[in-house]
Amino acid sequence: EHGVTSRTIRFYEGEGLIHPERRGTTRLYSRADRARLAWILRGRSVGFSLAEIRELLDMYAPGEARRRPLQAT
């Protein structure tokens, strides 16, 4: 769908940028996971670091996760 390898996706998962559901050893990527991956790839293509991308994604996350980045902004 996004033209990246499974290794790349696992890397972003390991960095905590996407959180697919697990069923045994199978990862299930929701629409939100796929949208986050698209934003990660866009951010990387324009030169953002993973930390900057995480901060941007956290600002739009539902719930408490977005409080700290929004207060900083």
- Structure confidence by residue, pLDDT tens digits, 24-45: 999 999 998 898 999 999 999 9
- Structure confidence by residue, pLDDT tens digits, 10-19: 999 999 999 8
- Read off the pTM: 0.76
How far is the C-alpha of 68 from the C-alpha of 35, rounded, in Å?
A: 22
- Confidence at residue 56, expressed as pLDDT on a 0 to 100 scale: 86
Q: Which of 2, 22, 17, 29 is nearest to 60 (CA)?
A: 17
| Secondary structure, 3-state, the chain | CCCCCHHHHHHHHHCCCCCCEEECCEEECCHHHHHHHHHHHHHHHCCCCHHHHHHHHHHCCCHHHHHHHHHHC
Q: What is the mean pLDDT of the chain?
A: 86
